[in-house]
A and B are shown apart, each in its own frame.
Chain A
Amino acid sequence: MKVKPVNHARAAAEFIEDTPHMTFHDERLWDLRQKRDQQMHILPEWQDLRTLASQIKEHTLANLPEYLEQFEANARKNGIHVHWAADAADHNRIVGEILEKHGAKSLIKSKSMVTEECSMREYLEPRGVVVTETDLGERIQQLDDQMPSHIVVPAVHKLIPDVAKIFAEHYHTDPKDNDAQSLAWQQRLAARPVILAADAGMTGGNFLVAETGTFVVCTNEGNADLSATVPGLHIATLGIERLVPRMADLGVFVRLLSRSALGSPITQYTTHFRGPQEGSEMHVVLVDNGRSHRLGMEEFWTSLKCIRCGACMNTCPVYRRSGGLSYGAVYSGPIGAIIDPTFNERKYSTLPFASTMNGSCTNVCPVKINIHEQLYKWRRVLAEHHELPFVKREIMHMAGKLMGQPKLYRAAINGTEVALSAMPRFVLYNWLNPWGKHRELPHPVSQTFHNWYKKNRVDAGKAAPKATAKKGENA
């Protein structure tokens, strides 16, 4: 059976129906975008940092095999066990085997998009491992049995009463608790004993450093450092694209990461792991899962530069008003829309259309990924691969014919004036016309520009006048 494409538009429509949630979501993310701008304006070197970050990442990706080998050699020298996972199944098997070898039955972990990508919890739990997310937002999502809706703030689509309800159910706290501080305290109280009793800890990671065999974890809550240092076994899982060549390159990325993500100068914790603690064991799993394939896609390989800050999501008008869960994928928002189709072209064929093409995602990206251009290119690829839904394909087909023939186009445009003013609403606002959903169609004009120009040009009826403006004047 063929997999069905994610119905982003329908899920977004449901999200929009709920005004309090949608309004909060929209405003909260826009606030993060504004805080990011304030940080940017403090640093005159901001654009230089973006350029450097982009160049360092492109260089690293072009030399990835060599740098990965260098990382592996250095990490091994420091006593880290290095594993390679070609896909999600590999990754889960490797983690499962490490845990089994240690007889580990309880695993505490910090937020990791790679483990989400691999559906690791779903793999480990039937094998008798209790996996506890320790990041507050991620824990809320785990208890609510939902994917993270944002790569940095996983429960950003929820309001305080939603969290109070979930905690009441699982932590037996007051369901009417309306105080974020007190709810966060409940999480601390619930997590501590689990952390102190855990058999193993797991983290993701933001950067790998080839020069030293280090991996770096940037977090705020302290849960990642607890997960890494309390149990005697630390497993870190990272995508192979997370590399930078030199320790000194981190200066560029750490200065950009949290400023772009949350508008804070740096995360509360920036932790450098170069080897296991005395008497402990440390493992790093390097995960491919489609990345080496993506590197060969001429138009899309630069999406591997992504440092997962979420700035493109915070600024995107479609994401802010549709919520991360509407994308039906681990990675949502603009970056998700260009990465997800590489995992499953058909399932995620709708996502590159969840954009207004305003280019804001590209402008805020700290590593200069041309996100909106890649969205456009994906639309073309999907059309070529026949992954467009029937209505969209037919409308595009008709529009293409219409725009290719000026006479037909003008006749049609004159016709829309009549149509927009005379047709009953049910004809204009129905399932064949997605532009009529959630928005009013433009008021019809009494005269098109073309008709006005025909009547008003100086030498009406004769050859069109030569342009008098100097070339480039209006550019």
Chain B
Amino acid sequence: MSARDTILSRLRDNRPKPAEHPLPPVARLGDMDNGQARFENSLQILGGQVLERQEGDTLATAIARRFPDAKIVCSAVPEFDGTIRIQDLASPQQAATVDVLVVRAPFGIAEMGSIFLSEAQLHNLNSAAHLTQHIVVILSPADLTANMHTAYIERPEFKSARYGVLMSGPSATADIQGVLIRGAQGVRTLSVWWD
């Protein structure tokens, strides 16, 4: 008998009675505020930031001010040029040279300050979101959902994307004596640009 059949038959023999353990209906609980203020507060708790917008700023001027030393600014959106387009990155090795990646998230989650990215936004170079030093995420306030329940119930991307990551602030670790460090092995900063 294959391992598969052995496992399945043992599970059938050993399991508790299915009738005694019904599946509860899908939950939709908690705070239903999907406002920008709630998102920003959550984003800040997880170490993310809102990219500062001064009068007359464009995305390009705001990025130039925030990342004055950036040499390679990669764009994954049509409305911004950067120094290179994500379509022109040939490999993860090349993506690893990027200082700032600019990308648009299809939605964000107010409860967590999370933004969603998939292969659709990353042009099938999923590693680019993690190899870049910094990431700037364009997000529309209209694309905020309230919490994890509403996100999973309402957003079709969870069922269509092959790779779907919720990024909640930058990478982080507290593995050395409990000291919280923002910027571990993935992006060192994550900034949101409202648009």
Residues of A within 8 A of B (CB): 24, 28, 31, 43, 45, 48-49, 52, 55-56, 58-59, 61-65, 68-69, 78, 84-86, 90, 134-137, 140, 153-156, 158-160, 163, 180-181, 183-184, 187-188, 191-192, 196, 212, 214, 220-223, 225-226, 229-230, 240, 245-252, 254-255, 262, 264-278, 286, 288, 292-293, 295-296, 301
Contact = CB atoms under 8 A, between A and B. Distances in A.
Which of the four size classes fits the interface of chain B? 35 or more
Given A84-B7, A272-B161, A274-B162, A266 B46 contact: yes
Contact of A59 (B23, B26, B92): B23
B158 A272 contact: yes
Interface stretch (B49-57, B61-69, B70-78, B146-154): B146-154
Contacts, number: 261
B162 A251 contact: no
A270 B114 contact: yes
B24 A56 contact: yes
B45 A265 contact: yes
Contacts of B27: 48-49, 52, 248, 251-252
Contacts of A28: 177-178
Given A153-B174, A274-B163, 7 more contacts: A196-B96, A265-B168, A268-B47, A272-B165, A273-B162, A276-B162, A293-B14
B176 A226 contact: no
B90 interface: no
A24 B178 CA distance: 9
A246 B25 CA distance: 10
B30 to A, nearest CB: 5
Contacts of A270: 114, 165-166, 168
Interface string B1-21: 011101110111111111011
A271 B184 contact: no
Contacts of B108: none
A226 B130 contact: yes
Nearest to A51: B24
Interface stretch (B79-87, B99-107, B121-129): B121-129
Contact of B14 (A267, A274, A295): A295
B152 A250 contact: yes
A380 to B, nearest CB: 21
Contact of B16 (A78, A159, A301): A301
Nearest to B181: A184
Closest 4 pairs between A and B when the two form their complex, measured CB to CB = A222-B186, A296-B14, A222-B171, A137-B175
Given A62-B17, A240-B7, A268 B168 contact: yes
B151 A24 contact: no
B93 A223 contact: no
Nearest to A141: B175
Contacts of B171: 220-222, 268-269
Contacts of B167: 268-269
Nearest to A158: B177
A59 B177 CA distance: 39
A281 to B, nearest CB: 13
B112 A272 contact: no
Contacts of A230: 92, 127, 131
Given A62-B15, A249-B26, A296-B13, A86 B3 contact: yes
B177 A24 contact: yes
A265 B44 CA distance: 12
